[in-house]
């Protein structure tokens, strides 16, 4: 199939103010959340010591509500002696019942270093084979592995799948090469359009009938041959 272009979604940069955290243990940390609206977390990476921090829970919620899960976080330290630094959200732990954020992990980054990361795939459009022929879309790959400097790593890539027909498969190798470099294996299938189930069932039924007819014909031939042998 023809080469398919990618639309790159640039990774945003947002600021998050943090303060050093002295609270440790379930009791003090829980009180910090409930009474002061502070979310506990840690910053680590780049061969530096793990740093216990706390930040305003509502500030983090605002960042996440705007798609900031994949943003580059500019960490602004409350301590004037500390310079701002950049990080990525490595993990957020949520309460199993309420769904509230419980803990934040931030990974320090150097914006000039080269990094490989999985970038989410966003498919746009309705495949022609689905819209006009009743096929069904199957997305087999939800992220592309890409390599570039951290500051240029996309938050997502967008792929237009409108042209896919019944039986078509879109592979990584079908994507137009560009920066950032795609490092996922070219043979991997991103999406395909499957034959409508009703048609597939009908074809399977026809094949079964043909096999049954062939089996019956074979049985009749064998019986006839047996009768002829008995008469001799």
Q: 176 in a domain, yes or no? A: yes
Same domain, 104 and 16: yes
How many domains, in total, are found in the chain? 2
Count Cβ atoms below 10 Å from residue 53 Cβ, excluding itself.
Answer: 22
pLDDT at position 209 is 60
Task: Give the chain's residues under pLDDT 70.
Answer: 67, 198-232
Query: What is the span of the domain harbouring residue 74?
Result: 12-108
Same domain, 67 and 132: no
Same domain, 73 and 89: yes
Same domain, 146 and 175: yes
The CATH number that applies at residue 173 is 2.170.120.20
Burial (CB count <10 Å: 0-12, 13-18, 19+), residue 55: buried
Same domain, 135 and 94: no
pLDDT at position 12 is 85
Q: What is the pLDDT of residues 191-227, one digit of tens each?
A: 999 998 755 455 555 555 666 666 665 555 545 555 5
Burial (CB count <10 Å: 0-12, 13-18, 19+), residue 14: middle
d(CA 1, CA 171): 9
Q: 219 in a domain, yes or no? A: no
The CATH number that applies at residue 47 is 2.40.240.10
């Amino acid at each position: 199939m023809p080469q398919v272009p990618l639309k790159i979604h640039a990774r945003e940069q947002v600021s998050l103010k943090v303060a050093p955290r002295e609270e440790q243990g379930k009791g003090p940390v829980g009180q910090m959340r409930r009474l002061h609206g502070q979310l506990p977390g840690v910053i680590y990476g780049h061969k530096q010591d793990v740093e216990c921090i706390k930040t305003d829970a509502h500030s983090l919620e605002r960042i996440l509500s705007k798609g900031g899960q994949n943003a580059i976080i500019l960490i602004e330290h409350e301590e004037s002696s500390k310079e701002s630094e950049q990080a990525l959200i490595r993990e957020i732990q949520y309460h199993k019942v309420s769904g509230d954020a419980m803990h934040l992990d931030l990974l320090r980054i150097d914006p000039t270093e080269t990094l490989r990361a999985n970038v989410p795939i966003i498919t746009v459009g309705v495949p022609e084979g689905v819209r006009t022929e009743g096929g069904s879309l199957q997305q087999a790959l939800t992220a592309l592995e890409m390599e570039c400097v951290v500051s240029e790593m996309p938050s997502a890539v967008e792929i237009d799948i409108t042209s896919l027909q019944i039986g078509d498969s879109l592979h990584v190798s079908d994507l137009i090469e560009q920066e950032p470099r795609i490092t996922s294996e070219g043979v991997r299938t991103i999406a395909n359009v499957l034959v409508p189930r009703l048609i597939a069932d009908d074809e399977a039924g026809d094949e079964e009938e043909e096999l049954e007819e062939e089996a019956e014909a074979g049985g009749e031939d064998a019986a006839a041959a047996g009768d002829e042998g008995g008469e001799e």
